Every structure is written in C-alpha cells, then in structure tokens.
C-alpha cells in the first residue's frame, strides 16, 4: 500500500528537515541541477506536489508567476508556507494525489522524490492526469533517488519507467547519475526559446 500521511507527520514531528534538504550537499546540488534543467527562464503557473518543507519550492517561486505546492503532512505544509511567506503568489495546500487534484492548468509540474511512496497503480492514475492539466507548451519534470528504499512500494527507476510508459509526451531531457535520475517530458520540443535571451 502507499505510505500514509501519518508516516510523514512522524518524520516532521522529529525534525523540520527530516531529509536534511538544507544541509546535505547531495540535496543542494540536486536542486541546482533540477533548476538548471528547466529550459525556460520563467514559467507562468507551476505545480509542485510533495513539496515537503519547501526548499525546492523556494527556488521554483523565483522562476514563476504563480506556484501551487501540495503536501499530505500538516506540519510540512506549515513549514512550506513559512518558507514561502515572501512570495504572495505562492500557495501551499494540504492534499494527496491523485484524489486531491487541483483545478486549472500548469506549464510546469515538478515530481521530485516522492513517486516511490505510491503504489504503482496509484502513480499511474497520477500520470494519466498530468498531461490533461498541462498547457499546450507544458512540461513534467521528475527526479528520484535510484538506490533501494526500504518500505517503499516502488523504487525510483520504476517510477520513471511508468512515466515513460504512460505519459503521452515527448521526453526532452534525461540526466542519470549513480544516485538519481532527472528527466523531463514536454508538449513543446523546440528547445530553449532564444527570444528570451539578451540580445548582444
């Protein structure tokens, strides 16, 4: 079965940063690579489910006009809201996919280090809804740990294999290291928009 909200509430009860997002070099470097992988300098509306305490959310807020974050842990939502308090167009809500799917469309959806907490069948339901809520030039970015994780219904490589199989988009990026896999799928495959670049 998928891991329940109580599992994550217990983690955040012991620490405001249970995965050491702020202090581990792995996490800091992965965030930098994730942001560098985005081909657009700025996005209109971004959705980040599984936002945890908002470390990646803060960086995403700097790159978009509107940001919607979601987490199933009440404490994580409180922490993320505090982290994003300087960004009035960033919203953090409590919820869990696929049942609490938000309204509207997004030009970027970020799935970072949480898909393996879901049963494969539930994650397939998430995938099937991703493309439907993307704008015509929207994209899905996913990044997951590749080493075995005890107690999780899936592993990172399996989650990405399901995305490749069920997401009806073109994969535009694949970056694999020993520790993690970073991929992007998009409706828009033309690459970086050079019109956004400064003319010299």
**CATH: 3.30.1490.20, 3.90.226.10, 3.40.50.150, 2.40.50.140. Which one for 5-188?**
3.40.50.150
> Which residue pairs, CB below 8 angstroms and at least 24 apart, start in 12-17?
12/53, 12/73, 12/75, 12/76, 12/79, 13/75, 16/53, 16/75, 16/79, 17/53, 17/55
Give the per-residue pLDDT at 24. 80
> If you ran DSSP here, which 8-state letter would residue 195 be given?
G
Residue 68 has phi, psi (to 5 degrees) of -115, 120
Three-state DSSP at 10 gives helix
Spans of all domains in the chain: 5-188
Percent of the chain with pLDDT over 70: 82
User: With contact defined as beta carbons under 8 Å apart, do 137 and 77 qualify?
Assistant: no
Edge-to-edge strand order for the sheet containing 170-176?
90-94, 64-71, 43-49, 106-112, 134-145, 180-186, 170-176
List, for residues 101-117, the tens digit of each pLDDT value: 999 999 999 999 899 88
Q: What is the pTM of this model?
A: 0.85
Residue 188 has phi, psi (to 5 degrees) of -115, 120
Give the per-residue pLDDT at 11. 59
Give the per-residue pLDDT at 195. 53
Give the per-residue pLDDT at 199. 39
Residues recorded for the chain: 200
Give the per-residue pLDDT at 5. 58
What are the start-end ranges of the H helices in the chain? Answer: 5-14, 25-37, 55-61, 74-83, 120-130, 156-166
Please state the separation of Cα 85 from the chain's center in Å: 20
Low-confidence ranges of the chain (pLDDT < 50): 1, 194, 198-200
List, for residues 148-188, the tens digit of each pLDDT value: 888 888 999 999 999 999 999 999 999 999 999 999 999 87
């Amino acid at each position: 079965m998928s891991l329940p909200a109580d599992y994550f509430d217990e983690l955040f009860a012991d620490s405001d940063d249970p995965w050491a997002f702020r202090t581990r070099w792995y996490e800091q470097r992965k965030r930098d690579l994730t942001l560098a992988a985005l081909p657009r300098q700025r996005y209109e509306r971004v959705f980040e489910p599984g936002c945890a305490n908002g470390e990646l959310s803060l960086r995403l807020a700097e790159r978009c006009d509107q940001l919607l974050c979601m987490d199933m842990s009440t404490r994580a939502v409180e922490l993320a809201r505090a982290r994003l308090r300087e960004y009035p167009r960033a919203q953090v809500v409590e919820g869990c996919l696929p049942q609490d799917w938000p309204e509207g469309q997004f030009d970027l959806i970020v799935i970072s280090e949480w898909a393996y907490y879901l049963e494969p069948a539930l994650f397939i339901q998430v995938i099937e809804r991703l493309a439907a809520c993307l704008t015509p030039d929207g994209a899905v970015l996913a990044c997951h740990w590749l080493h075995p994780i005890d107690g999780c219904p899936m592993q990172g490589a399996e989650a990405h294999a399901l995305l490749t199989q069920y997401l009806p988009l073109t994969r535009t990026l694949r970056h694999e290291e020993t520790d993690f896999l970073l991929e992007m799928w998009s409706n828009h495959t033309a690459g970086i928009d050079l019109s956004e670049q400064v003319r010299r």
